[in-house]
Copies of this chain bind each other. A is one copy, B any other.
Amino acid sequence: MSAERSVTIKDVAAHAAVSVATVSAVMNENKYVSPELAQRVRASIAALGYKRNNFARGLKTQVSHSIGLVIPDIMNPFYTNIARGVEDVTHTHNYSLIIGNTDEDPEKEKKYLHLLDSKQADGLIIAVTDHSFEYLQELPLQNLALVGIDRSLIELGIDTVLVNNTVGTRTAIEHLIGLGHRRIGLVTGARGITPTEERLVGYTEALEKHGIAVDPALIATARARVDGGERGAHQLLTLEDRPTALFLMDGTMVIGAMRAIAQLGLRCPEEIALICFDDFAWAPVMRPHLTVVDQPTYEIGKQAAHLLFERLQHQERAPREVRLQTRFIVRESCGSHLRSPDALSRFHA
């Protein structure tokens, strides 16, 4: 079969007795062709077994029909769900999705960007590594449509999808204050990236609104992974005047925090209340069932992909920042189910 001469678009045109332009218009669906004519062309394509050569097509139109997704780690459920959302949209467009994990290493990120650029991916959805704005501007990405996720790139004129980090955090912290907590520990991920900085604002706002001074000793910075969560929680829980509640900025960190709590022999929620960002399939069956700030992860992926395909169609559209809403889900890990409704209503009155 490979020895046969390939069927070309000219062969199809001859077979259907139309012009090459008409065959192209039918295949790309980018110009009006009468249903009868389109049907004839499709029949000829089928009869001859014509298969468009993507390399040849790419050479001419510089469209690869691939997009890239560059994220810290697909194994973090936050990004797993985003990837699935992106892929479902990509699939409906008959595009391929190329995935790269940076491990938050700017060098790896650069390598992926160059790889995708050299393969002429049409677009890229990216959660940039820390402090990488500058080099992003330096990269020769003129032909690559970009959408930022989780970290805002709107100042660079790049479409961005993220959540209302500040409100989401403020709501959670106010819930803890409402339950009587005054010393609330915070374990953050890397400083300088949007989610960390915005959640710090939400934390501070909630405390200040209720006249509680921010104690820097109660804020730990750690790697947004299980081990980071464990270290951060351990650091705060071994303070002489330890917090009575912990807020973790990431759904993987909370696993580490639960380890630290168990290791120190503390009981959750009786001795230490716990809230984290990110809901996941396991949270509702854990004991205690975790109270969380849920992010619409799958939807972040979908929206990012929609913005990207929109950008590919309308290169001149003004950049847009989409903020999706978080959802505060109260379960058991703050012990609110153990309190009398009276105590709560007294506070909120």
In the complex, what's the smallest C-beta–C-beta distance from A248 to chain B, in angstroms? 13
When the two chains form their complex, are residues B120 and A101 in contact, meaning their CB atoms are under 8 A apart? no
Contacts A118-B51, A255-B285 hold; do A87 and B100 have CB atoms under 8 A apart? Answer: yes
Q: Give the size range of A's interface with the partner.
A: 35 or more
When the two chains form their complex, are residues B84 and A75 in contact, meaning their CB atoms are under 8 A apart? yes
Report how far A91 CA is from B109 CA in the complex, Å: 11
Q: Does A58 contact B (CB under 8 A)?
A: yes
Q: Does A52 contact B (CB under 8 A)?
A: yes
What per-residue 1/0 map shows which CB atoms of A84-111 lie under 8 Å from chain B? 1001100100101111110000001001
Contacts A87-B100, A226-B281, A252-B281 hold; do A59 and B53 have CB atoms under 8 A apart? Answer: yes
What per-residue 1/0 map shows which CB atoms of A294-326 lie under 8 Å from chain B? 000000000000000000000000000000000
Report how far A220 CA is from B140 CA in the complex, Å: 56
Q: Does A242 contact B (CB under 8 A)?
A: no
10 contacts between A and B (CB under 8 A): A51-B118, A54-B58, A54-B118, A54-B119, A91-B100, A91-B111, A97-B99, A280-B282, A286-B286, A286-B287
Task: List 9 additional A-B contacts (Cβ < 8 Å) besides A58-B58, A87-B100.
Answer: A51-B118, A74-B87, A75-B84, A80-B80, A98-B98, A99-B99, A252-B281, A258-B285, A259-B284
